[in-house]
A and B are shown apart, each in its own frame.
Chain A
Amino acid sequence: MITMQKLKYLSLTHLSESVLKRLAQNHILTIIDFLQEDVQKLSTLTKLSLSEILSVRNEIFTKFSAPLINGTTLLSRISDTRTVLSTGILSLDSLLNGGIPVGYITELCGLAGSGKTQLSLQLAVNCARQDTNTILYVDTKGDFSAIRIQKILDANGYSHKDMAELMYKIRVVHIWTMEDLLELFKSVKNETLDIAHLALIIVDSLPCLMMQFIGDENKIGLNLLNTLVNYSRFIGNKFNVGIVYINVQTRWIDNDILDMEDEQQLSSSALKEPAYIEKRNRCLGRYWQNIPAVVLLVEKLEDSPAEKDSTQIKVTVINSNMARNVNSQCMLTLNAFGVT
C-alpha cells in the first residue's frame, strides 16, 4: 500500500528530532501534512523561523515536485530517441504507426485461445532480433513455452548458436501474485534489478493476478493496480521501454432484457423474436479501461479459408491515444513459422 512520505524518514535540514516530535503532536506526519499547513502556524509550532520553514518547503519541492520539462526538450527527445518498437510484422507495424509505442502501456486483449500468447511470444522473438534489445517476459500463467519459441526459430532456419543468443535476450520471470509483480517492477524502476538494453516488457497475463481481488470491498486490488500503472509509466519513460499487458475478454450471450412495457409494445408488433445478443467485456474493470494508450483486440478467425496448419488472426485497434487509428485492422497468419 502506498502511503505518503513520512517527514521523519527524510532527514530534512532544520527538522531535528524535537521539531519532528512537536509536528507529530499536531498530527503533521507526512510531507503533504507539512505542505498544506499555514507557514506562519508551522513556525509557531516548531519555533523555527519563517525562513527556515520556507527552506524546508523548498527542500521538499526539490525532492518531490516533478521537474519541469520544456517543449523544446520534448522535441529533441522525440527526434533523438526511439518512439516506437518495431513488432517485426509489417502489417502490425503500419497499424501501430511504426510499432509498439515506447513509454506507453499497450494492451492485447482477446477471448481465451484467440492467439494472444502466441502473438506475445512472437513480439518477444521479433524484438529480441533487433539490435541488442532485451525483453522481460513476465509469465503469470506458467505457460511460457521456450519450446514453441525454439520451433519458430527452427522453422525460420536459425542455427543453435543464434537461437541460444536470441533466447538469452528474452528473460522470463514467473510471477504468481500482484505483490510480487509490483516488487519486480519496483526493482526495475529503482535499478536494483539491472537489465541491460531493456526494450520491452510483456506481462502475460494481468487478469490472472487480479482474480483474487474480485469482490474485494477494500479495493486493495485497485490500489495495487494503480501502483503498477504508476511504476509502468515511470519505467516506460525513464528507460524508453514499451510495455505490453495481456488482458482477457469474456463473452456471454444475453437475452436482452426488456422491461414489461417494452415487451407489451413489442408483442403488438411483428417482432416477437427475443433479442439474443453476444456481449463482450474486457476484464480488469472500469479503472483499467482508460489506462492503456493503445488497446488491440486479437481474434482468431475460425472459418477462414486458410491453408492447412495455419490460422488467421485479426487484430483491431479498439482504443488509442491516436484517435484516427481506432477501428483500423490487420490480418496475421499463425503457423509453424510463428505469427507473420
Chain B
Amino acid sequence: MAATKFKIESGVQLLARLIKKAEVENFYTDLFQPGLRSDDVVEIFGSISFSTILIDVISEALLPKQMNEKPLGVLLFNTVGQFNYTDLINTMRAKIESFKYTNEDCLIDKENILQKALSNLFILEIYDATQMYATIYNLDNILANKQSISLLIVDTLTAFYWSEQGFKISKMDSYIKNLLKMIQKVSKEYKLIFMYTRPGYFGSSKDSDNLETCEVQVSEGVNITVQLLDKNSTGVYQVNVKTVDSYYKKCFCILDNGIKWQ
C-alpha cells in the first residue's frame, strides 16, 4: 500500500481534538512562577520520598484554594508504592477544615466536599513493566473517558528499569527519553500538565544529581526540573527549580495540614 499522505486520526484522537478542553493556567503558584500551564512537563528528582510534595500538588488540584476556581482532575500512576494514600486523605481533610466558610456554606457537609474532590482523582496501580507499557498505550482511551483529567503524575517514571535489563543494559537517559516520548504523545493531545518523579541516582551523567551546577541538561521535552533536597537541622526543606530561562530556590516546612511554603 502506498504511504498515505494524510495523518490517519483514530477515533479517540478525533475526540480529543473535538473536545476543545480548556487550557490550565497558573497552577501551583506556591512553587512555580508564574504557575504551571497545560503542556508543561515537570520532572521532580531527589533522594527523599516524593509522597509529601505530590500530596500537596494533588490536594491543591482537587481542592483549589479559591473556592471559585475549577478543580483539576488528576491521574496518578503509582509504580513504586511510596505514595501515602492515608496521608493524602488526612491532608485533604485538614485542608477542608481550614477553608473559610461563609455562613451559608457551613451547612455543607465537609465529608461531602471530600467525596466530591476525590471523585476527580484517578489512580493506576502498576506492578510490572508490561502493565506499565500497556497502560501507557491505553492512556488515549482512559483520557477520552475521563475528560476532567488535567494533571498526569507518574511516581516514579523509572520504577521498572532494572526489571527490564538483561544482558544488554540500556542507558538510563535514553530509557527516560523513550518513556517521555510515549507519554507526551498523549499528554500533549489532551493538554495535560505532566509531572513525573525520578530518583536522584537515576541518570547517565554523574552531575545529574546537582542542579546548582546549572550544567544539568534538562531532558528533552521537559521544561521544568525540580530538585528536592533533604531537610536541614531546622526541619526546612529546600527545593531548587530550573526552567528553560530561570533558576531559583524555594523552601518549605511540613505542618499537620501539609506543606507550608516559605
Chain A interface residues toward B at CB < 8 A: 1-2, 4-5, 31-32, 35-36, 39-40, 44, 57, 60-61, 63-72, 74-75, 78, 83, 103-105, 218-219, 222-223, 225-227, 229-230, 233-234, 236-237, 286-287, 289-291, 293, 319-324, 326
Contacts and interface: CB of A to CB of B under 8 A. Distances in A.
A230 B4 contact: no
A225 B82 CA distance: 16
A2 B135 contact: no
B250 to A, nearest CB: 16
B51 A322 contact: yes
Q: What's the dominant secondary structure at chain B's contact region?
A: mixed
Given A225-B162, A286-B201, 10 more contacts: A65-B131, A65-B134, A68-B122, A78-B89, A218-B166, A218-B169, A287-B162, A293-B81, A322-B51, A324-B256
A75 B114 contact: yes
Interface in B118-153: 118-131, 133-135, 137-138, 141-142, 146
Nearest to A97: B86
Contact of B130 (A57, A64, A103, A223): A64
B134 A31 contact: yes
Contacts of A326: 48, 231
A70 B120 CA distance: 8
A322 B84 contact: yes
9 contacts: A61-B138, A64-B130, A67-B124, A71-B62, A75-B89, A287-B201, A289-B47, A289-B201, A322-B84
Contact of A61 (B1, B80, B141): B141
Nearest to A236: B81
B158 to A, nearest CB: 10
B85 interface: yes
A219 B163 CA distance: 10
A323 B49 contact: yes
B123 A293 contact: no
Contacts of B19: none
Contact of A223 (B8, B114, B163): B163
A129 B121 CA distance: 37
Interface of B: 1, 4, 8, 10, 47-49, 51-52, 62, 80-87, 89, 114-115, 117-131, 133-135, 137-138, 141-142, 146, 160-167, 169, 199, 201, 231, 237, 254, 256
Contacts of B165: 219, 222-223
**Top 6 closest pairs, chain A to chain B, by CB:** A71-B118, A71-B121, A64-B134, A226-B162, A226-B163, A321-B51
Task: Pick from A75, A105, A286, A319 the residue with the most CB of B within 10 Å.
Answer: A75
B230 to A, nearest CB: 8
A69 B52 CA distance: 21
Contacts of B52: 321-324
A157 to B, nearest CB: 36
Contacts of A223: 162-163, 165-166
B131 A105 contact: no
Given A83-B86, A225-B162, A286-B201, A323 B121 contact: no
A60 B134 contact: yes
B162 A71 contact: no
Contacts of A57: 137
A4 B52 CA distance: 33
B125 A35 contact: no
Contacts of A321: 49, 51-52, 82-84, 87
A70 B116 CA distance: 11
B48 A319 contact: yes
A15 to B, nearest CB: 16
Contact of A72 (B83, B119, B142, B231): B119
Given A83-B86, A324-B254, A66 B131 contact: yes
Given A31-B134, A226-B160, A323-B49, A2 B121 contact: no
A226 B156 CA distance: 13
Contacts of A63: 134
B115 A66 contact: no
A35 B84 contact: no
Contacts of B129: 2, 4
B254 A219 contact: no
Contacts of A227: 128, 163
A234 B89 CA distance: 22
A2 B164 contact: yes
B87 A1 contact: no
Nearest to A221: B162
A44 B130 contact: no
A96 to B, nearest CB: 12
Contacts of B162: 219, 222-223, 225-226, 287
A76 B32 CA distance: 33
Contact of B120 (A1, A71, A218): A71
Nearest to B156: A290
